Amino acid sequence: MKIEIKKLFILTILLLPLTTFSQAEIIFNGVTLENTSKEVIQKMSSISATVNIVTPRVVRFPLAKNTESHLICTNISTENGSIEKAIFTFADDKLSHIEARGNAVKVFESNQKDTARTYLDYKVYIKNKLFLNEKKDVAWILNEEGMHLNLFTWENPYFKSSYKLSLDISGKIPDFITMGENINTLKPILEVNSAFTNTEKLDGTDPNAQVQINCFGVNYFGFPRKIEARFGDNQLNTVWILTAKGEEDRIRQELIKHYGKPIFVNDSWEIFDNWKIGLRKDKPEILLLNQELGLFYKKEFFKQ
């Protein structure tokens, strides 16, 4: 058995240095990512019919450590046309995510000079950090952390006026993630618990797995996430749950609540549940391993 801790990302090209990107968001009267809520309100008020900010008392947005807020704007006038509605999401009062609906694809595409790449149901303008879904007429603008989390698959619930924040959440690993389960048995269960999935054959760099099922929109700790389930010899042996640095302590407290204090801690990892659960801190993720792999990593990777 060999060790493969390194993760592969489908969208590795999207993880280029942030300085290589342009700014698609400037069509909103000069708004840029990292602007404060006050700055964005000032810029959007003059081009929107209505502007309303919502600040939930409980933080759910993974990029936020202490506070999150959502600025909801309607009937927005831009130089390229009108957009029906857009929500600007702030993590600790820094603009971190934008989602626009209603004539959004037409407006953003009219301003693009590059050729779009296709990924699943999305057209991606890499330099602009811009994702478009033509079927739904939705546009997303992400920051670098949002790319890691695949936030282009997240649909902001505040687009629905009836949305109410649920306080019933848990950081317990979902019960349907059954380590050792056969791929043919588990695949339909993963599909039911995901917004959508896709399956890929791995390139051989992970000696312990041959197939990965990418699950998008899986609910974990109050937020729809991407989960990467890896199968070796048709059995589930490794799972990655994508997280963010801002929620690290919230997730840590939940793992302690359900699995006890970590049995091993270093700068990059905190390990729980007899080496079967790892909270990764250098690249925010939760790693799940079957018992065999967990004990092997304990000895060979963590030198314990």
Best CA proximity match to 192, nearest among 213, 212, 173: 213
Residue 22 confidence (pLDDT): 56
Length of the chain: 304
Tokens encoding 299: 């000895």
Residue 161 confidence (pLDDT): 86
Residue 126 confidence (pLDDT): 87
Report, in angstroms and rounded to the nearest whole number, the Rg of the chain calculated over CA atoms.
20
16 φ, ψ (degrees, to nearest 5)? -70, 160
Task: Give the residue carrying structure tokens 């790449």.
Answer: 117
Distance CA(184)–CA(198), nearest Å, equals 14
Q: Side chain identity at 227, as an amino acid letter?
A: I
- Going from the C-alpha of 224 to that of each of 31, 120, 220, 270, the distances in angstroms are 27, 18, 6, 23
Q: Is 145 exposed, middle or buried (0-12, 13-18, 19+ CB in 10 A)?
A: middle
Nearest-10 Cα torsion for 11, 62, 275, 303: 70
Compute how many other C-beta atoms are within 10 angstroms of the C-beta atom of residue 68: 23
Compute how many other C-beta atoms are within 10 angstroms of the C-beta atom of residue 94: 15
Compute how many other C-beta atoms are within 10 angstroms of the C-beta atom of residue 237: 21
Assess contact for 182 and 136: CB atoms under 8 A: no
Assess contact for 59 and 165: CB atoms under 8 A: no
Assess contact for 97 and 151: CB atoms under 8 A: yes
Compute how many other C-beta atoms are within 10 angstroms of the C-beta atom of residue 253: 11
Distance CA(50)–CA(47), nearest Å, equals 9
Contacts of 122 (CB under 8 A, 6+ apart): 131, 132, 133, 152
Residues 117-163: pLDDT tens digits? 999 899 999 888 899 999 999 999 999 999 999 999 999 999 998 88
Assess contact for 270 and 287: CB atoms under 8 A: no
Residue 266 confidence (pLDDT): 97
Domain residues of the chain, as ranges? 12-159, 183-300
Best CA proximity match to 146, nearest among 91, 219, 97: 97
Residues 200-212: pLDDT tens digits? 999 988 889 999 9
Prediction pTM value: 0.90
Angle at 237 (CA atoms; ends 235, 243), nearest 5 degrees = 130
Best CA proximity match to 269, nearest among 256, 279, 254: 279
Contacts of 261 (CB under 8 A, 6+ apart): none
**Per-residue pLDDT of the chain in tens (304 residues, 90 and over written 9):** 434 444 443 444 444 443 344 589 999 999 999 999 999 999 999 999 999 999 999 999 999 999 999 999 999 999 999 999 999 999 999 999 999 999 999 999 998 888 899 998 999 998 888 999 999 999 999 999 999 999 999 999 999 988 888 777 899 999 999 999 999 999 999 999 999 999 999 998 888 999 999 999 999 998 999 999 999 999 999 999 999 999 999 999 999 999 999 999 999 999 999 999 999 999 999 999 999 999 999 999 999 9
Residue 1 confidence (pLDDT): 42
Task: Give the residue carrying structure tokens 């998008």.
Answer: 216
Helix (H) or strand (E) run with residue 133 in it: strand 130-133
Residue 164 confidence (pLDDT): 84
Residue 85 confidence (pLDDT): 98
SS3 track for 243-290:
CCHHHHHHHHHHHHHHHCCCCEECCCEEEECCCCEEEECCCCEEEEEC
